[in-house]
Chain A
Amino acid sequence: MASRVIVVTSGKGGVGKTTTTANVAAALAEMGNKVVAIDGDVGLRNLDVVMGMENRIVYTLIDAIEGACRLNQAVIRDKRVENLYMLPTAQSRTKDAVTPQQMIDVCNELRKDYDYILVDCPAGIEAGFKNAAAGADEALVVATPEVSSVRDADRIIGLLEAMEKSPIRLIVNRIRRDMVKRGDMLGVSDVLDVLAIDLIGMIPDDEAIITSANSGILLTASSGSPASRAFKNIAARVAGEDVPFMNLDSNESAGIFHRIKTMFGF
């Protein structure tokens, strides 16, 4: 199988890029793929703490680019999830420490050793985004069901299309079914109507994500929560499996069938 480089992006900050990168990477690894997650947010690194690896960083992506170490010396192996790796970035540098060409080179070198390379993108549409996206073939766009987030996602999708990333697929995060049901939140079908790209996943708003981030233990490893099922399904769809989506029409009556779909469908 040819390796795939996938950038996880959004435009707006705080919508779940880092959470998604870490947990989808873990879910892909649990499926038996060799996966590396790259922290593309130079100067504001976060992937290390979300993945519980902050105390194990010796070298970073920037050290490797500057020749202070070899690339594989900067990559950290996850102790809990087999086949999962993380490439940290520097915290004390700015985004001009990397160029798009250097990111392309790094991604291409990693292709030799990994099935999936996921790049966690910084917020914004400037240099940080362009660097993180430079080496990627395809993109996962994360949006929450809010006007500002979906609007920014639309802007990012335009830029990704101009960069010829394909496929570009959407993840709607932090869905609150209770609010959607009573008409106080955009539904996934509303977001899809507006953005007109393919959906690859829906993640519920779930406390388990916060406790997972608190402990630095990835969700898929502990499992059982609605969000962990959502990440597992996204990983399976990334890998090309045909996992059915839950019914997007939230206003249907809550029969037993509906409840089953709600439990397993995300």
Chain B
Amino acid sequence: MSFISNFSNLLGLGRMGRAGKSGDMAKSRLTLAIAHDRTDISPGTIENMRHDIIDVIKKYAEIDEEHIELDLENDKSNGYFALVASIPVMKVRRTRGSL
């Protein structure tokens, strides 16, 4: 789940508003809360990380900052949490080393 969908849930714009499925909302909130608890990474730290990652990537590529998604995800198959980022790249900058 991304920050964007989570944020819309907080605002009541998610499934809650449409179908009255508070159970779904409970599950997504729970999954996120536990992901943070288990890794001990606070939502604030993720936000800072997001800014730093954006700054690094901006050195190499032009990116769509509005649509970056970055969050912890629970990989059920192995029990690990993954830091998953989706960063839309508009244009790769020419660097000196490239052909």
What residues of chain A have their CB less than 8 Å away from a CB belonging to chain B? 145-147, 150-151, 154-155, 158, 179-180, 182-187, 190, 193-194, 196
Contacts and interface: CB of A to CB of B under 8 A. Distances in A.
Interface string B55-99: 000000000000000000010100100000000000000000000
Given A146-B26, A179-B23, 12 more contacts: A147-B33, A150-B30, A151-B33, A151-B34, A183-B20, A184-B22, A185-B23, A186-B27, A190-B23, A194-B31, A194-B74, A196-B79
Given A154-B38, A158-B38, A193-B76, A184 B31 contact: no
Contacts of A151: 30, 33-34, 37
B26 A147 contact: yes
Contacts of A184: 20-23
Contacts of A185: 23, 26
Contacts of B34: 150-151, 154, 194
Interface residues of B, number: 18
Contacts of A186: 23, 26-27, 30
Contacts of B19: 183
B50 interface: no
Contacts of A183: 19-24
25 contacts: A147-B30, A150-B30, A151-B33, A154-B37, A154-B38, A155-B37, A183-B19, A183-B20, A183-B21, A183-B22, A183-B23, A183-B24, A184-B20, A184-B22, A185-B23, A185-B26, A186-B26, A186-B27, A186-B30, A190-B27, A193-B76, A194-B30, A194-B34, A194-B74, A196-B76
Interface in B9-45: 19-24, 26-27, 29-31, 33-34, 37-38
Contacts of A158: 38
Scoring A158, A180, A186 by chain B CB atoms within 10 A of each residue's CB, the highest score goes to A186
